[in-house]
Amino acid sequence: MDGWCREVEASTPEFRVVWDGSVAVVTLPEEIDVTNADEVREQLLTIINQGATVLIADMSRSTFCDSAGITALVRAFRRATESGTKFRLVATGPAVLRVLEITGVDRLIDVYESLSEALGSGAPG
């Protein structure tokens, strides 16, 4: 990721946030469930409130996401939309992709197959 200007340490090691100008990429945990969904939502909302014009939630290492996690993503997406922030997901795990499909979230939020694709201007995967 050439040109990335700063990394901001999150409150826990589960969240790595990297900024390039007003574009933020947050790496989400391997499992997103009722035990950490509120923290995921708060982390995403914090980034939106810090003025991100594009927020990429990188779920490429996530292997599980339950309904609480889906709710956190949808709430963050709604706040992003209200704030004028573009919200994108990167997801590669079959179980995560399946839950995004079953719940219809993949029709609400643009889902990309790679971080480089999400950073580019191409169509979602």
pLDDT single digits (tens) 110-121:
999 999 999 995
CATH domain 6-119 topology: Transcription Regulator spoIIAA (3.30.750)
Say how far apart CA 41 and CA 87 lie, in whole Å.
Answer: 13
pLDDT of residue 14: 73
Is the pLDDT at 123 greater than 70? The verdict is: no
The ranges assigned to domains in the chain are: 6-119
Averaged pLDDT, 43-70: 97
Q: What is the pTM of this model?
A: 0.87
Which tops the pLDDT comparison, 91 or 11?
91
Q: What is the band of 15 on the pLDDT scale with cuts at 50, 70, 90?
A: confident
> Token pair 């956190």 is at which residue?
72
Question: DSSP label at 24?
Answer: E
Torsions phi, psi for 31 (to 5 deg): -125, 130
Polymer length in residues for the chain? 125
